[in-house]
Structure 1
Amino acid sequence: MHSTELQDMSQGELAYHRLHAAIRAGEFQPGDRLREIDVAKKLSLSRTPVREALRKLENDGIVEHRPRLGAVIRTLSTTEIVELYEMRLVLERTAAEMAAKHANPAEVDLLEDINEQIDGAGQDTPRAAALNQDFHRSIYLATRNRFLLASARALNNALILLGPTTLDDEARIKTVSSQHAQIITAIAAGDQQAAGDAAEAHLQTSLRHRLKVLQS
Structure 2
Amino acid sequence: MQKDAYTLILEAIDAGTYKPGDRLVESELAERLGVSRTPVREALQRLETQSMLARDGRSLIVASLDHNQLAELYTVRAELEALAARLAARHAAPEEVRVMQAMIEEDHQKLGDPIALSRANKRFHRQIHLASHNRYLVQQLDLVHRSMALLATTSLAAEGRGEIALAEHQRIVDAIAAGDEDEAGAALRAHISEAFVTRLKSDARAHGGQPQ
- Common fold: TM-score over 0.5: yes
Q: 1:146 — aligned with what?
A: 135
Three-state SS of the structure 2 residue aligned to 1:106 is: helix
Structure 1, gaps ≥5 residues long: none
Note if contact 2:165-2:191 (Cα within 8 Å) is conserved in structure 1: yes
Note if contact 2:89-2:178 (Cα within 8 Å) is conserved in structure 1: yes
Q: 2:7 — aligned with what?
A: 17
1:166 counterpart = 2:151: no
Q: 1:106 — aligned with what?
A: 95
Give, in whole Å, the separation in 2 of the partners of 1:93 and 1:30: 28
Note if contact 1:118-1:173 (Cα within 8 Å) is conserved in structure 2: no
Q: Give a deviation string over 1:129-173, Cα, whole Å, max 9, x none.
A: 111111111111111112211221232332211222222157221
Three-state SS of the structure 2 residue aligned to 1:71 is: strand
Q: Quote how far apart the aligned CAs of 1:123 are.
A: 2.5
The count of residues paired between Structure 1 and Structure 2 equals: 205
Structure 2, gaps ≥5 residues long: 206-212
Q: 1:65 — aligned with what?
A: 55
Question: What TM-score does the superposition give when structure 1 sets the normalisation length?
Answer: 0.89
Q: 1:199 — aligned with what?
A: 188
Q: Give a deviation string over 1:60-113, Cα, whole Å, max 9, x none.
A: 210112214x01111111110011000001011111111111112111111011
Give, in whole Å, the separation in 2 of the partners of 1:44 and 1:169: 37
RMSD: 1.6
Q: Quote how far apart the aligned CAs of 1:120 are.
A: 1.3
1:85 counterpart = 2:83: no
Q: 1:38 — aligned with what?
A: 28
Give, in whole Å, the separation in 2 of the partners of 1:165 and 1:140: 20
Give, in whole Å, the separation in 1 of the partners of 2:100 and 2:129: 11
Q: Quote how far apart the aligned CAs of 1:50 are.
A: 2.1
Give structure 1 regions of 4+ aligned residues with deviation exceeding 3 angstroms: 44-48
Give, in whole Å, the separation in 2 of the partners of 1:113 and 1:202: 19
Note if contact 1:123-1:170 (Cα within 8 Å) is conserved in structure 2: no
Task: Report the residue type matching 1:20 in the other structure.
Answer: L
1:129 counterpart = 2:127: no
Note if contact 1:97-1:192 (Cα within 8 Å) is conserved in structure 2: yes
